[in-house]
Chain A
Amino acid sequence: VAGAVERVNKLVCVKALKTRYNGEVGDIVVGRITEVQQKRWKVETNSRLDSVLLLSSMNLPGGELRRRSAEDELAMRDYLQEGDLISAEVQSVFSDGALSLHTRSLKYGKLGQGVLVRVSPSLVKRQKTHFHDLPCGASVILGNNGFIWIYPTPEQKDEEAGGFTPNLEPVPLSDREVISRLRNCIVALVTQKLMLFDTSILYCYEASLPHQIKDILKPEVMEAIVLETRQRLLDLEG
């Protein structure tokens, strides 16, 4: 295992650079549904075991509070199918290491149109909030498990739906350009092993504006952009 070492007296902890996601309670994760089982969904979150999303941990459409009945069980597949992406929070960790997720808030739920970027979980910085609305015109969810979801900022906050009805309208070209640029910036930061948080992504985005979107992935351009980002982050700290 290769990574950063932390020593506390005689205890040596190594934070690995490339690892599977080890969940903590309270982390935000973005996952993909792999199976629909009796009273739960199995979610793939880049960890050793598939995470579990219990039916009772899921919000009903309309925000009702009642005991889940047999009809709810039969209608599970209407809510979430195999292949859907969801954002959720870790409620608890089972003894074997599997995570139990919940979507008990209106900001979690099924994700609509957007772009997923898979990175190593160790590169996502732990912050107070992982849902960011970037001023460049797109929003980003930095999942602690290394799944980063970039999507166009919704104009109005539709509270009633609770994230169940995906918005399938075509996304305008300007939004798509912003999202592609953000995606390439994140890939550039990841290849240069920089920590991902909203400020670093924003600085990288601004540094990449003079270049064309597809040029960001060229090695020379990538190095130049990340160097500038690193410089600005150092200036911010110092």
Chain B
Amino acid sequence: DLRVDGRGCEDYRCAEVETDVVSNTSGSARVRLGHTDILVGVKAEMGTPKLEKPDEGYLEFYVDCSANATPEFEGRGGEELGAEIANTFYRVFSSESCVDLKSLCINPREHCWVLYVDVLLLECGGNLFDAISVAVKAALFNTRIPKVQVLVDEEGSKEIELSDDPYDCIRLNVDEVPCIVTLSKIGYRHVVDATLQEEACSLASLLISVTSKGALTSLKKVGKGSLDPESIFEMMETGKRVGKSLHVALQKVLDEEESLGTSRQKVGFLG
């Protein structure tokens, strides 16, 4: 139970989470997990609800693999990975209870809030999915959607008025937002938070998205190796355990940051 850098099989690397780093977004977060650096920005825009869900808003994910991350992302190299990550997140958030989409609705069938979640990979140091999911949760926690009022004119046409006060906003409830835990199989054991070298040694990995209460929202197997069904059960149990403690730690950090309020010193990108 000892990895190359002294961690146990279920230990994460030293992580830094900072929210509200980008000023022109509704919410943003930056996560540094070892050598992996992720920046997530959430923009809330007005849009029309989807036809099959007329009284709900929705989330749109876009992942941009910056060419600075690794040399493989030069030009269009990172598009495949970006599309894969975005699709994974659509699956993870496909569960109804993750985000309260009904609160994003303004006028059924006409107006709703669409949250565009943009993920930027600044540096690739292993374990991308976990870091991105932590950053997405932190950014959603930090998102401030302005309050709108619907005014009905004399002719019956609806007008949307944004409240003037910039601090008058609604916050999202991120208690049910899941976090992804990646378990990589190396030899006969599985490890959490693999570095680049460990990922090169592992033949197969299991991506589990766990909510803070321990419920699984999605499961995905990546890699060209095969996984024994019994080991999948073991990995799921480990993932649930690790996921719950990850949520607790993340919530603590976010609450601490929140309590500091405006007096918090922002480190940003120059620290």
> Which A residues fall within an 8 A CB radius of B?
115, 173, 176-177, 180-181, 183-184, 187, 212-214, 216-219
Q: Are B4 and A214 in contact (CB under 8 A)?
A: no
**Residue on A nearest B12 in the bound complex, by CB:** A214
Q: How far is the CB of A204 from chain B (nearest CB, A)?
A: 14
Q: Are A213 and B4 in contact (CB under 8 A)?
A: no
Instruction: Provide the bound-state CA to CA distance between A34 and B215, in Å.
Output: 46
Which residues on A sit within 8 Å (CB–CB) of B7?
214
Q: Verify if B13 is at the interface (C-beta below 8 Å from A).
A: yes
Question: Residues 1-15 of chain B: 1 if any A CB is under 8 Å from the residue's CB, otherwise 0?
Answer: 011111110010110
Instruction: Provide the bound-state CA to CA distance between A212 and B14, in Å.
Output: 14
Q: Are B6 and A181 in contact (CB under 8 A)?
A: yes
18 A/B residue pairs, CB under 8 Å, sorted by A: A115-B4, A176-B2, A177-B2, A180-B5, A183-B4, A183-B6, A184-B5, A184-B6, A212-B6, A213-B5, A213-B6, A214-B6, A214-B7, A214-B8, A216-B6, A217-B6, A217-B14, A219-B14
Instruction: Provide the bound-state CA to CA distance between A81 and B4, in Å.
Output: 24
> Which B residues fall within an 8 A CB radius of A?
2-8, 11, 13-14
Instruction: Provide the bound-state CA to CA distance between A53 and B2, in Å.
Output: 35
**Residue on A nearest B197 in the bound complex, by CB:** A116
**Residue on B nearest A176 in the bound complex, by CB:** B2
Q: How far is the CB of A83 from chain B (nearest CB, A)?
A: 11
Nearest 8 pairs of A and B residues by beta carbon: A213-B6, A214-B6, A180-B6, A214-B7, A176-B2, A218-B14, A115-B4, A184-B6
Which residues on A sit within 8 Å (CB–CB) of B3?
180
Q: How far is the CB of A33 from chain B (nearest CB, A)?
A: 16
Instruction: Provide the bound-state CA to CA distance between A216 and B3, in Å.
Output: 14
Q: How far is the CB of B188 from chain A (nearest CB, A)?
A: 12
Which residues on B sit within 8 Å (CB–CB) of A216?
6
Which residues on B sit within 8 Å (CB–CB) of A217?
5-6, 13-14
Which residues on B sit within 8 Å (CB–CB) of A180?
2-6
Instruction: Provide the bound-state CA to CA distance between A19 and B194, in Å.
Output: 28
Could you list 17 further interchain pairs (A-B, Cβ under 8 angstroms) beyond the known A180-B2, A217-B6, A217-B13?
Answer: A173-B2, A176-B2, A177-B2, A177-B6, A180-B3, A180-B5, A180-B6, A181-B6, A184-B6, A187-B5, A212-B6, A213-B6, A214-B6, A214-B11, A216-B6, A217-B5, A219-B14
**Residue on A nearest B4 in the bound complex, by CB:** A115
Q: How far is the CB of B203 from chain A (nearest CB, A)?
A: 16
- The residue in B7, B8, B11 that gathers the most chain A C-beta atoms within 10 A of its C-beta is B7
Instruction: Provide the bound-state CA to CA distance between A71 and B59, in Å.
Output: 64
Instruction: Provide the bound-state CA to CA distance between A45 and B6, in Å.
Output: 26
Instruction: Provide the bound-state CA to CA distance between A183 and B11, in Å.
Output: 17
Instruction: Provide the bound-state CA to CA distance between A219 and B267, in Å.
Output: 16
Which residues on B sit within 8 Å (CB–CB) of A219?
14
Instruction: Provide the bound-state CA to CA distance between A96 and B13, in Å.
Output: 42
Q: How far is the CB of A217 from chain B (nearest CB, A)?
A: 6
Instruction: Provide the bound-state CA to CA distance between A229 and B8, in Å.
Output: 26
Q: How far is the CB of B125 from chain A (nearest CB, A)?
A: 13
Which residues on A sit within 8 Å (CB–CB) of B4?
115, 180, 183
Which residues on A sit within 8 Å (CB–CB) of B13?
217
Q: How far is the CB of B28 from chain A (nearest CB, A)?
A: 23
**Residue on B nearest A187 in the bound complex, by CB:** B5
Q: Are A183 and B2 in contact (CB under 8 A)?
A: no
Instruction: Provide the bound-state CA to CA distance between A180 and B6, in Å.
Output: 5
- The residue in B5, B6, B14 that gathers the most chain A C-beta atoms within 10 A of its C-beta is B6
- The residue in B5, B7, B11 that gathers the most chain A C-beta atoms within 10 A of its C-beta is B5
Instruction: Provide the bound-state CA to CA distance between A216 and B13, in Å.
Output: 11
Instruction: Provide the bound-state CA to CA distance between A212 and B11, in Å.
Output: 13
Q: How far is the CB of B72 from chain A (nearest CB, A)?
A: 17
Instruction: Provide the bound-state CA to CA distance between A218 and B14, in Å.
Output: 7
Q: How far is the CB of A186 from chain B (nearest CB, A)?
A: 11
**Residue on A nearest B6 in the bound complex, by CB:** A213
Instruction: Provide the bound-state CA to CA distance between A181 and B14, in Å.
Output: 17
Q: How far is the CB of A146 from chain B (nearest CB, A)?
A: 16
Q: How far is the CB of A197 from chain B (nearest CB, A)?
A: 22
Which residues on A sit within 8 Å (CB–CB) of B6?
177, 180-181, 183-184, 212-214, 216-217
Instruction: Provide the bound-state CA to CA distance between A184 and B14, in Å.
Output: 13
Instruction: Provide the bound-state CA to CA distance between A68 and B54, in Å.
Output: 78
Instruction: Provide the bound-state CA to CA distance between A216 and B7, in Å.
Output: 10
**Residue on A nearest B13 in the bound complex, by CB:** A217
Instruction: Provide the bound-state CA to CA distance between A115 and B214, in Å.
Output: 36
**Residue on A nearest B8 in the bound complex, by CB:** A214
Which residues on A sit within 8 Å (CB–CB) of B2?
173, 176-177, 180, 213
